[in-house]
Amino acid sequence: MRLSDCHNIDDFRKLAKARLPFPVFDYIDGAADDELTKARNTASYDAVDLVPDVLAGVAEIDTSCTILGRKSALPLMLSPTAVQRAFHWQGETAVAKAAEKHSLWFGISSLATRSIEEIAALTSGPKMFQLYVHKDKGLNTHMIERCQAAKFDAMALTVDTIVSGKRERCLRSGFTTPPRFTPASVWSYATRPRWTLDYLFREKFRLPNLDTHVSEGSSEAVSIAEYFNTMLDTSMDWSTAAAIREQWGGTFVLKGVMSAGDARRAVEIGADAIMISNHGGRQLDGSRAPFDQLPEIVDAVGGEIEIICDGGVRRGTHVLKTMCSGATAASGGRLYLYALAAAGEEGVMRALDILKDEIERGMRLMGVTSVDQLTQERLRARSLS
């Protein structure tokens, strides 16, 4: 299978599986417990139909919109995800370049493998930093100050990872960051020489936004679960979120909101946006899908705060359904991580080209000429009875 054989996001997943050692692929692909929520995140879109209008005159359409005060060519964001150089040696560099070429928002994680400063110098496009609140308050402040100096456009506080979900695929494979070879996985690494040689002989794997304060996960191999369970602040509460919003002073997003009540509290502390998200099904298995929660949250706080529906997006029609249901934008991680793992920047570019084409085609077939028209007509997306 080659990159030219990839015509949808699932094709990129298949190519990534063929090219990655199995512990690395299972880290991207896996989720918590029985992985029911991960599957539901995508399946939830099947329960809603798009209702098209015809003879609408759609020779010219406008897919652009404004998200968090910045223009975006599509109503789609690339969610921040961790340790991207474990998937392809280009890591966040590839995603940043592809996002800028497509004029899209993207984010980097506290656990990114490229530094805040490197990403800021690389792209003038809209960029978000995703903050994990560590027990080390000095580290939290240090990352916030670096983002301020680097002029990041937004900060997203992730609120659903005070402890790690039970990611059983990672428990079985022994995946760590940095990746390490174990007796159970050495054959998989040996039979993926391109990945293994890149990992061994290119620049040293590190987490440059953390290694000023911690060694775990940068020079010392630990599992993501161990890192979350030992390093992150389990006492985080609404006063913590409000204090971080105040300290940051810029556009502020809460990532991981799933209930209408929490959405209301996000409005009350002055957040600019929420990302309805269950962390890709990697935390609380059995929780609802973000798309299923979207109508309730839109009814509760729509018009008062921007609402980004995060997770499960695999098709352009999924993006259209989120817009018809009242969201500001859709976002996702695996939709570009599979492509990154498959072919680096070239893979991410192709994946975004495909999604852009699907969104444009879908809008024409629905008879809408602008994203604003989608968001104004919620009845275009109807639940099946």
Bridge partners for 158 per DSSP: 255
At residue 330, the 3 state secondary structure works out as strand
User: What are 48-65's pLDDT values in tens digits?
Assistant: 999 899 999 999 999 999
Confidence band of 270 (pLDDT split at 50, 70, 90): very high
Catalytic, out of 102, 134, 279, 318? 279
Give the pLDDT mean for 349-366. Answer: 97
Verify whether residue 102 is a known catalytic residue: no
DSSP assignment of 283-351: SSTTPPPHHHHHHHHHHHHBTTBEEEEES---SHHHHHHHHHTT-SEEEESHHHHHHHHHHHHHHHHHH
Q: What is the pTM of this model?
A: 0.94
Task: Specify the pLDDT at position 385.
Answer: 45
Q: In the 8-state DSSP scheme, what is residue 76?
A: E
Confidence band of 380 (pLDDT split at 50, 70, 90): low
